[in-house]
Chain A
Amino acid sequence: MGAINTHFVPALDGVAYGLLLFVAAAGLTLLFGIGGVLNIAHGTLFALGGYLAASVSDGSWSSAFLGLAVATVGGTLGGGLLAAGTLPLADRGHLPQALLTFGLSLVGADVLTTVYGTDEHPVVIPKSVNGTVQIFGHVYPTYRLMFIVVASVLALAGTYVLGRTRAGALLRAAADDREMVGAMGYAPWRVHAALCGAAGALAGLAGGLGAPIIGPGPDTADKVLMLSMVVIVLGRPGSVLGAFGAAIAVGEIETLGVSISSNWAPYLLFGLMAVALVVRTFRGSSAVGAGAAAGAHA
């Protein structure tokens, strides 16, 4: 009972943090798994969303929603730029695209610090969710609790769109056979642009939603990119459910894991990632299983 009590907050926080990572990684996994673009500038779009949301926030609900809208639009525009940049490279494999987006991320980081400076930008969130609540005798931030709900809804909506709608079916088809989708009358560049735009919108939205937890600052892009890459690799690129499981697993590793064994905290994330990758390769089994296994052993 004592152990459960001690680890309750980290475990709950792992869910919130994991969902944040899921929202952050969703755009990356979509674009990489389906579009084949490993977007190194993904973290930069997340940071852009955060800065935009922070710049309009004044503590009112209307500014909070405006912030999310602006962040999403900003992310979409970034995605459009990405689409235009990567389209000419479409038949040259992964590496040139990764090279390009790496370059874009370096340029983007410089632009963001030039515009917003090197200090972290605080987001002023509405008073009613800025405080704390009591859960089973523990203090916990209200915003993170709300975030769990919002992110869960987003995850369900994403699964629905990808699994049950015509647009989703088209995207899944594009992942398997681009030429076939082309033959159906959808120009490949349109599918590509739609994917990049959607991925950018998701990244911007995630940045806006996540800003009160991972505030926009000069380190944000790198951190989000690194964690998102871990998530999509563990969850198998393109799989929404896989990314969900992996994100929760990584969230728990970063919270419950360090709470249980703080001596090994520095090694936990990448150690378990390496183990999961190798275990999966040896077993040749599904990614979700490996991701969940990594979480269970934490």
Chain B
Amino acid sequence: MFSSRVSVRLRAAVAVGAVTALAAAGCSSSTSSKSSAKGDAPINIGLITALSGSNQALGPDHLNGFQLYLDTHNDMLGGHKVTLKVGDEANGGAAAVPVAKKMIEQDHVLAIAGIVATPTIQAVVPIATAAGVPVVNTGGRPTVKDVSHLWTMSFMSTDPGSSMGPYMAQNVPGSVYAFGPDYQGGYDQLRGFTEAYTKAGGKLANDGGKATFTPFPNTTDFTPFLSKVKASGAKAIYCFYTGQNAIDFVKDWSQSDAKDIPLYAAGFITEGGALKAEGQAAAGIITTMNYSPDISSAANRQFVSAWSQKYNGEAPPATAMYSWDAASVLDQAIAKAGPNPTPDAVNAAIKGMGQIDSPRGTWQLSADTHVPVQKWYLRKVEMDGTALANVKIGDLATIGS
């Protein structure tokens, strides 16, 4: 009796103590690190990426690309020692709101890099813009109302499709069957393709002439969707998939009635870990991407060798290159922003940036949309030495406005 009563009160005390401790710690942490950077004082940079939740397969590359740049540049950006504050956007959207607020209010970051999912962009950019903090975005990029503080290193979601559309209209002898996942990024990707493809004279083979969208994230079996392709008489497939969807789609395609119908896709379907998991099933897939590890330039050689040194001789995925560029752009912008860089000054410096030398080739930010004006490449999955790789087989259009 005695012990049970004591333990009840003990538990109560522990619970109350825990709540109070949480509250107290919350108070104390808010008062720290108020001082802004002085001279060559250290600076904080935020990086938001998906480290848990439905996009976690895509998240680490965003972090690793940025970290690699810091590793190879003495942890400095623009002459200042950098502390990287990493935050998790989880499933994207509302989950990232507190993450961004913490970076801005407590860590006083000069800029926020990363962001995988488009809902996260929509949730975070208004907060950052209100605080005057630039967002250097390395993931998907939707249409955004106010781009004054948003700078995209990757591409507009419609760009990969826009680059591939005219090529397929000219080179595929017949109609094309188009697939994408059922979310906004998927609609944007497929809209880019469909508009460019039909404008160049192509015709979709799908029922009703519109692209097919597969339920996301619950589709694991694409066989029933693929069973319609053969009967439609399509001469090629175009699709946009990432992560686990990409792997499942490629595996199912390679073992279906549609396996003799060539697969064209936005490059993410065979990037990094996805290509490894797909293995031989991916052989022969033709993709469009604004990067290929075999581009011959000094900037690319430096990046590829740094990456393969750190990651067991592997080729870097495009996402890591966007993040590398994000760090490189911030490096130059912070250097221009003076000895006491402020978020506003960094934002202005990014705006004034001209040609950017990058592993993908030189590119520049569009004045209207703040998205790269850049060249797109045609790649094919082939054996390169002992492993399958995305080998560049030609140039597509330069896109961006």
Direct contact between A and B judged by beta carbons closer than 8 A: yes
Q: Once the chains bind, are B227 and A265 in contact (CB under 8 Å)?
A: no
**Is A153 among interface residues, defined by CB-CB distance under 8 A?**
no
Q: Once the chains bind, are B214 and A265 in contact (CB under 8 Å)?
A: yes
Q: Once the chains bind, are A218 and B224 in contact (CB under 8 Å)?
A: no
Task: Choose among B54, B182, B277 the residue that contacts A120 (Cβ–Cβ < 8 A).
Answer: B277
Residues of B close to A139: CB separation below 8 A: 255-257, 259
The residue of chain A having its C-beta at the shortest distance from the C-beta of B182 within the complex is A266
Q: Once the chains bind, are A219 and B244 in contact (CB under 8 Å)?
A: yes
**Is A60 among interface residues, defined by CB-CB distance under 8 A?**
no
**Is B263 among interface residues, defined by CB-CB distance under 8 A?**
no
A138–B244 Cα gap in the complex (Å)?
26
Among B214, B217, B273, chain A packs the most CB atoms within 10 A around the CB of B273
Beta-carbon contacts of B223-260 to A below 8 Å, as 1s and 0s?
11101100100000000000010011001000111010
Residues of B close to A213: CB separation below 8 A: 220-221
**Is B218 among interface residues, defined by CB-CB distance under 8 A?**
yes
Q: Once the chains bind, are B224 and A219 in contact (CB under 8 Å)?
A: no
Within 8 A of B (CB), among A215-272: 215, 217-219, 223, 226, 254-256, 258-259, 262, 265-266, 269
**Is B175 among interface residues, defined by CB-CB distance under 8 A?**
no
Q: Once the chains bind, are A6 and B227 in contact (CB under 8 Å)?
A: yes
Q: Once the chains bind, are B244 and A9 in contact (CB under 8 Å)?
A: no
Task: Choose among A120, A254, A256, A265 the residue that contacts B273 (Cβ–Cβ < 8 A).
Answer: A120
Q: Once the chains bind, are A219 and B255 in contact (CB under 8 Å)?
A: no
The residue of chain A having its C-beta at the shortest distance from the C-beta of B279 within the complex is A122
Residues of B close to A256: CB separation below 8 A: 224
**Is B313 among interface residues, defined by CB-CB distance under 8 A?**
no
Residues of A close to B256: CB separation below 8 A: 9, 139-140
**Is A119 among interface residues, defined by CB-CB distance under 8 A?**
yes
Residues of B close to A10: CB separation below 8 A: 223-224, 227
A213–B272 Cα gap in the complex (Å)?
21
The residue of chain B having its C-beta at the shortest distance from the C-beta of A254 within the complex is B221
Q: Once the chains bind, are B223 and A265 in contact (CB under 8 Å)?
A: no
A17–B220 Cα gap in the complex (Å)?
10
**Is B67 among interface residues, defined by CB-CB distance under 8 A?**
no
A118–B182 Cα gap in the complex (Å)?
22
Q: Once the chains bind, are A255 and B273 in contact (CB under 8 Å)?
A: no
Task: Choose among A119, A138, A214 the residue that contacts B57 (Cβ–Cβ < 8 A).
Answer: A119
**Is B60 among interface residues, defined by CB-CB distance under 8 A?**
yes
Q: Once the chains bind, are A140 and B276 in contact (CB under 8 Å)?
A: no
A147–B228 Cα gap in the complex (Å)?
24
Residues of A close to B217: CB separation below 8 A: 219, 223
Q: Once the chains bind, are B57 and A223 in contact (CB under 8 Å)?
A: no
Beta-carbon contacts of A15-56 to B below 8 Å, as 1s and 0s?
001000000000000000000000000000000000000000
A139–B229 Cα gap in the complex (Å)?
13
Question: When A6-B231, A122-B277, A141-B255 are in contact, do A217 and B224 touch as well, CB less than 8 Å?
Answer: no
Question: When A13-B221, A120-B244 are in contact, do A262 and B57 touch as well, CB less than 8 Å?
Answer: no
**Is A113 among interface residues, defined by CB-CB distance under 8 A?**
yes
The residue of chain B having its C-beta at the shortest distance from the C-beta of A121 within the complex is B277
**Is A132 among interface residues, defined by CB-CB distance under 8 A?**
yes
A141–B217 Cα gap in the complex (Å)?
23
Residues of A close to B225: CB separation below 8 A: 258-259, 262
A103–B256 Cα gap in the complex (Å)?
39
Q: Once the chains bind, are B54 and A219 in contact (CB under 8 Å)?
A: yes
Contact sample, A vs B, 10 pairs, CB 8 Å cutoff = A9-B227, A9-B256, A13-B224, A113-B56, A117-B273, A120-B244, A120-B274, A132-B259, A217-B244, A255-B224
- Pairs A-B, 9 closest by C-beta atoms: A119-B273, A10-B224, A259-B224, A141-B255, A266-B215, A9-B227, A255-B224, A120-B277, A122-B277
